[in-house]
Structure 1
Amino acid sequence: MNILYLHGLNGSLKPKKRNILEAYGTVFAPSIDYQNNPNAILWLYDSYKNKDIDIVIGSSMGGFAGFHLSKLLQVPALLFNPALAKRSVPQHIIETPKNNNTSIDIVLGAKDTVINPKDTLAFLGNTLSQKQLYKLTILPNLEHRIPVAVFEEAVDLFMKDYLL
């Protein structure tokens, strides 16, 4: 299985989280300069469209990019606190299919003060006519950063759905 992991703004994939993902397959985790590349989604698509990506996982800005890439690549996605409604850096959103013909799983932290979960829910509500299947998990005590234990549990649940 090929996994495309997309980090958040000024972030990277930490070793403990990489180890969790590597238990399931090959991990591609590019370094993304969202601030200086307003075409990050197109750049990522061009870089990975021929790599047989099976799933996309992203957090925050990476969740935003992952949302669109999962539709372009037609693969499932697991997104943590995705910056869907608002972003602190401009990004061009390219035209994508209306859905990815599978599921987009989203984990939201109710205590996130960086990406407002209410804005994310409103954004998703505005996409319901696109017939995209969403699986939402709202964790009442989760803030913006994703602890390793939360990441591991979400990844395990997600993989059980897609490895069957």
Structure 2
Amino acid sequence: MNILYIHGLNGSLSPEKRLVLEAYGHVFAPSIDYENASHSISDIINVYQDKTVNIVMGSSMGGGAGYYVSNHFQCPALLFNPALAKRPVVQHITDIEYKTSPIKQFVLGSEDTVVFAKDTLQFLASTIPFHPNYYIHLRNHLAHRIPLAVFKAEVEVFFDTLDRVNNN
């Protein structure tokens, strides 16, 4: 299984979180300079077009990009505090043929002061007709950064959900 992890603004996938993901498959984790790459969504799609992407994961700006990338590749996504409603830097949203993907799990922090859960929920509400399989985890006391313990727990829930859905 190939997992594409898309980091947030000025971020990267930590070695500890990479280890968590490697228990589930091969991890692609490109470095993205969002401030100088306003077409990062289409850039990511183009780079991974000839690879099999089974799962997309991302956080913040990477979660926002991951939303659209998972639609393009028609694969499930796990998105942490995704910057969907508002972004701190300009990103051009690629016109993608597919407006949905099989499953999207969102992890939103109630104490996030960078990507507000309320804004994300309003964005998601406007897309419900396209996405019957949203799983939204609103975590009280979670801020913008995702602690390793929360990351591990949500990754486990995500893969358990995939197994349950795929076996029905």
TM-score, length-scaled by structure 1: 0.97
Secondary structure of the 1:42 match is helix
> What stretches of structure 2 of length at least 5 have no aligned partner?
none
- Written as runs of structure 1 = structure 2, the 5 A alignment for 1:11-160 is 11-96=11-96, 97-100=98-101, 102-160=102-160
**Counterpart code for 1:81:** N
1:138 is paired with a residue of what secondary structure?
A: strand
Deviation, structure 1 residue 95: 1.4
Distance (whole Å) between structure 2 residues aligned to residue 10 and residue 105 of structure 1:
23
Taking structure 2 as the reference length, what is the TM-score of the superposition? 0.94
Deviation track 1:1-52 (CA, whole Å, cap 9, x = no partner) reads: 1000000000000010000000111000000011000000000000012210
Instruction: Give the counterpart letter for 1:46 in structure 2.
Output: N
Runs of 4+ in 1 over 6 A off after TM superposition: none
Q: Distance in 2 between matches of 1:18 and 1:62?
A: 15
What displacement does 1:131 show? 3.7
- 1:111, 1:132 → 2: CA distance? 27
Quick one: distance in 2 between partners of 1:52 and 1:42? 16
Residue aligned with 1:57, SS:
strand
Alpha-carbon distance in 1 for matches of 2:8, 2:46: 19
SS in 1 for 2:34: coil
Alignment length (residue pairs): 163
Say which SS state the counterpart of residue 127 (structure 1) adopts: helix
CA contact (8 A) 1:111 1:143 kept: yes
Aligned partners of 1:139 and 1:129: how far apart in 2? 24
Which has the larger share of helix? Answer: 2
How many angstroms apart in 1 are the aligned matches of 2:100 and 2:4?
Answer: 18
Query: What code does the residue aligned with 2:11 have?
Result: G
RMSD: 1.0
Unaligned runs of 5+ in 1: none
Name the SS for the 1:17 alignment partner.
helix
Identity over aligned pairs, percent: 52
Counterpart Cα distance in 2 of 1:60 and 1:12: 11
CA contact (8 A) 1:78 1:104 kept: yes
For 1:47 and 1:162, the matched residues in 2 are separated by: 26
How far does residue 68 in structure 1 lie from its aligned partner after superposition?
0.2
